[in-house]
Amino acid sequence: MNEWGEYFVKEEDEDDEEQEEGERDAGVFRFAGRDSLIFLIDASKPMFESTGDELTPFDLTLQCIRSVYASKIISSDHDLLSVVFFGTRESNNCDPFKHLCVLHDLDTPGAKRILDLDKYKEEKGRALFRDTIGCGGDFSLGEALWLCSNLFSNVKVKMSHKRIMLFTNEDNPHANDQAKAKQARAKAEDLREMGIFLDLMHLEKPEGFDISLFYRDIVNTAEDQDLGVQFKASEKLDDLLKKVRAKEAKKRALARLTLKLGPDVGLTVGIYNLVQKAVKPPTVKLYRESNEPVKTKTRIFHSNTGSLLLPSDTKRSQTYGNRQIVLEKDETEQLKRFDEPSLVLIGFKPITFLKKHHFTRPAQFIYPEESLINGFNLVFLPFADDIRKIDPPEKITANEEQVDKMKEIVHKLRFNFRSDSFENPVLQQHFRNLEALALDMLEPEPIEDLTLPKVEMIDRRLGTLVEEFKELVYPPGYNPEGKAVKRKQAGDSDSRAEKKAKADISISEDDLRSYVEKGTLGKLTVPVLKEACRGYKLKGSKKQELVDSLVEYFKKN
């Protein structure tokens, strides 16, 4: 099906403006048109009033948009983004609309646009915004929507999705002007008919945001019926980002094929990727002198005369039975396409026949296009040579007491797992480095490796369970970094056990004494402190108790 996927999505006469998105093993899929998104931001005075936190609603909005700009550069740099302020003192737009300022026209995201947004962050940025653009003014939301519609119309390339995200904390902007309210409702209806979706990203205000006063009739949502209108206002950056990212994500089919159920029965289905591994973007060759991307062009020349050959001057040939068969280009294409791309139902198998070791790549989801009925998963089965027989190593069976103790540990460490809660640290660091280079930052922003275990939290939850488990599984005085230690015989003396325990401490006594004298014992990790306390037969479970026990011990000795 890989070759058919390429045939379906790669046309000969594609426009240069078509967006390249989504990547599969078979190649890059192309979609007809680009996504376009306008951030329509309220710049009136209430947006600059803090509700208790240091960040104002205006700050939250700009940080959210900056994050979207950065993610778009990484994930889909062909998308078109724009930033428009309404309710400003100054007017800056191509139409005769007052109190509307276009910061960015609809264009692809870049480092310069992110730097433009960074100018207006924090207190100095807000002061600069008030001086250069200003806030306040008798604006019209209907004219703001009209301006956004004109921005979409001015774009020459083909667009697949048109969306406006409205950021505000004012639930009734035209409470005293019914004419402007009516104009805004009429313009919102025009946008709906033009296929432009308007989403409300409302922010928290002290007395609460009531969407029923005005925006219930203004907002129109896209085909994502499960998302709908978010009635809860955002008061934190994470809430706002979650809302924006959920709205900007598109449900797009990788391909649309015919599912043949029988000789004369078939239906059109769309193929969707539910999960896809995140990878680093491919490298781009740059010209050394100008640092511009290098494009590769292939030209064919005549081997005898050296003249340039056009595509119509070349033919393809293949030798069959000592005879050279010359084929036209369209004939070679027809040879590759022996049938229309489709999925053929061979039969049914019980789900129990599908084993875990059959997994070779993430499954895909197919969904009927004719009507809204439930779809089903498309699982890729391995070939015969993908499954091999191996000799499993000999396992030591745990006794019932050890199993019960491990069940207690597992029960203590359970949590609700979400795959999107753990980001790939290698990719995150890679993109931070690119961001630092593009924005001329001194050093990249630090990342938090969410894959590392939270040692202190684990120690706090488990308490003494780990030590109890070790006593059940390992012999006394066991050192995981050293050689295996035989179990102690019943007749061994306490003095011998004490010497053995001290010998198994990974940190020396001189180093411990140095840490105590300098007062930096707290820099050691809890496992190291516990190991040292066990070596000197000191009590304590929490970090501070361990530190105090060691300090007291070295003061006496």
pLDDT tens per residue, range 70-108: 888 877 778 899 999 998 988 888 878 888 999 999 998
DSSP state of 68: H
What helix, strand, coil percent values describe the chain, rounded to 5?
40, 20, 45
Stated pTM of the model:
0.55
Query: Does 497 score more than 60 pLDDT?
Result: no
pLDDT interval class at 484 (50, 70, 90):
low
Q: Express each pLDDT in 514-551 by its tens digit.
A: 888 887 887 788 888 888 888 888 877 778 888 888 88
- What is the structure's pLDDT at 11? 36
- What is the structure's pLDDT at 499? 45
Query: Does 22 score more than 50 pLDDT?
Result: no
Nearest to 344 by CA among 254, 272, 262: 262
Q: Express each pLDDT in 286-316 by its tens digit.
A: 888 888 889 888 889 988 888 998 888 888 8
- What is the structure's pLDDT at 17? 39
Query: Does 406 score more than 70 pLDDT?
Result: yes
Mean pLDDT for all residues in the chain: 79
- Residue with the bigger pLDDT between 454 and 541: it is 454
Distances (CA, A) of 493 to 93, 282, 498: 89, 65, 9
- Among candidate residues 24, 30, 288, 432, the one labeled active-site is 30
CB burial string 137-171: b at 16+ within 10 A, e below: bebbbbbbbbbbbebbeebeeebbbbbbbbbbbbb
CB burial string 252-264: b at 16+ within 10 A, e below: ebbbebebeeeee
- What is the structure's pLDDT at 267? 83
- What is the structure's pLDDT at 84? 93
Mean pLDDT within 214-243 = 60
Q: Which residue in the block uniquely carries the two structure tokens 């008919």? A: 193
Residue 94: Cβ-neighbour burial (10 angstroms; 0-12, 13-18, 19+) = exposed
Mean pLDDT within 425-444 = 83
- What is the spatial distance between Cα 456 and Cα 203, in angstroms, rounded to a whole number? 36
- Residue with the bigger pLDDT between 77 and 238: it is 77
- What is the structure's pLDDT at 240? 66
- What is the structure's pLDDT at 38? 92
Query: Does 204 score more than 70 pLDDT?
Result: yes
What structural domains and CATH numbers belong to the chain?
32-248 (3.40.50.410), 255-386 (4.10.970.10), 391-452+461-473 (1.10.1600.10)
Query: Does 508 score more than 90 pLDDT?
Result: no
Nearest to 464 by CA among 508, 416, 412, 520: 412
- What is the spatial distance between Cα 211 and Cα 541, in angstroms, rounded to a whole number? 53
CB of 134 closer than 8 Å to CB of 90: yes
pLDDT interval class at 449 (50, 70, 90):
confident
Say whether 390 sits in a helix, a strand or coil.
coil
- What is the structure's pLDDT at 481? 65
Distances (CA, A) of 511 to 47, 516, 524, 542: 56, 9, 11, 21
Query: Does 438 score more than 70 pLDDT?
Result: yes
- What is the structure's pLDDT at 373? 52
Nearest to 156 by CA among 46, 36, 269, 325: 36
- What is the structure's pLDDT at 53? 63
Q: Express each pLDDT in 362-371 by its tens digit.
A: 888 888 876 5
- What is the spatial distance between Cα 182 and Cα 109, in angstroms, rounded to a whole number? 34
Sequence letter at residue 9:
V
CB of 260 closer than 8 Å to CB of 266: yes
CB of 239 closer than 8 Å to CB of 202: no
Q: Express each pLDDT in 102-149 by its tens digit.
A: 999 999 888 888 888 888 888 888 889 988 988 877 888 999 999 999
Mean pLDDT within 384-407 = 84
Q: Which of 55-69, 486-500, 532-546 has the highest mean pLDDT?
A: 55-69
Nearest-10 crossing angle of helices 400-412, 465-473:
160
Active-site annotation holds for 432: no
- What is the structure's pLDDT at 40? 93
Q: Express each pLDDT in 247-285 by its tens digit.
A: 666 667 888 888 888 888 888 888 888 887 778 778 888
Q: Give the least confident one: 25-34, 393-402, 405-414.
A: 25-34
Nearest-10 crossing angle of helices 111-118, 57-75:
170
Mean pLDDT within 232-254 = 65
- What is the structure's pLDDT at 249? 62
- What is the structure's pLDDT at 145? 92
